[in-house]
Amino acid sequence: MIRSFGLLVDHVLDALIVDSEGRVLNRTTMGEDLFWAIRGGGGASFGVIVSWKIMLVPVLQTIRAKFHVLFLGNAQELLYVMNQSSPQLGLVAEQCIQIGSNRCCFRITIQYMEDDDETRKACFHFNPYGGKMGEISEFETPFPHRAGNIYEIQYSVSWNEEGEDVANQYLSSYLNCRDVDIGVDGPGNATYAQASVWGRKYFNRNFDSLVQVKTKVDPSNFFRYEQSIASLASVHSI
């Protein structure tokens, strides 16, 4: 879906946000600068977003997949196996390439993943980039990692326990999770220099634009957390 349509922030049409003065603003009343900033720039740095209006994308009727198989046998044996298991592919002999044996040898080390209940809760997967992602400018939204990036790696976990208290515990851990390895703001109002340590790694050249928007819409830095966008108006050191 990412390669076909881009990210969700690329399809936001409108939003409602409560700013530091308690005003409820939509796209028209908040202005295009703030609307740009909240679409991938960390909306919690600028206010409380209460709703989004999202442009839907068409449902794909067909998908295309490609896979490679090494079959230890001749073409006729492969045809029999494939036509029995996946007759809808319509594999014919002309599509099979029969190769000779490889005379070189190699040495490998094998590590087995044990069937552990705890590891089943974790998920590791790739999001391939390219396609539509490469067509969108890095300045279109605050998220700059577009053309030239091959894939993104994501980690996720799940839980099976029931109950609101259990769910809130996991959700709280997720909402308060920060990648502190790349730096955090200090206590109170962070300086531009402090926020730049992690901010430029996240947003590249879009970081300065986010700081300008933050300074304009929340000069007192009312909305702040460990990795929020810094406001130039609230600090003495830049």
In this structure, of 6-20, 21-35, 71-85, the range with the lowest mean pLDDT score is 71-85
Q: Quick one: pLDDT at residue 166? A: 73
| β-pairing verdict for 24-25 and 12-18 | antiparallel
The pLDDT of residue 181 is above 70 = no
pLDDT averaged over every residue in the chain: 83
The pLDDT of residue 237 is above 60 = no
Residue type at position 191: T
Residues 6 or more apart whose CB falls under 8 angstroms from that of 139 comprise 205, 206, 209
**Which residue bears the tokens 């007192």?**
220
Residue 55: how many CB atoms within 10 A of its CB?
Answer: 11
Beta strands of 31-121 (E only): which ranges? 48-54
Q: Quick one: pLDDT at residue 40? A: 94
Please give the Cα distance from 35 to 80 (Å, whole number): 58
Within the chain, residue ranges assigned H as helices are 2-5, 27-30, 32-38, 75-85, 132-135, 164-175, 192-203, 207-217
The pLDDT of residue 238 is above 50 = no
Q: Quick one: pLDDT at residue 10? A: 96
Looking at per-residue pLDDT, the higher value among 32 and 183 belongs to 32
Q: Quick one: pLDDT at residue 236? A: 45
The percent of residues above 70 in pLDDT, for the chain, comes to: 80
Kindly indicate the confidence band of residue 182, based on its pLDDT and cuts at 50, 70 and 90: low
The pLDDT of residue 175 is above 70 = no
Instruction: Report residue 170: phi and psi, to 5°.
Output: -70, -40
In this structure, of 34-38, 87-91, 116-120, 141-145, the range with the lowest mean pLDDT score is 116-120
Q: Quick one: pLDDT at residue 137? A: 95
The pLDDT of residue 208 is above 80 = yes
The domain 1-59+117-238: what is its CATH number? 3.30.465.10
Instruction: Report residue 18: phi and psi, to 5°.
Output: -100, 120
* Residue extent(s) of CATH 3.30.465.10 domains in the chain: 1-59+117-238
Kindly indicate the confidence band of residue 207, based on its pLDDT and cuts at 50, 70 and 90: very high
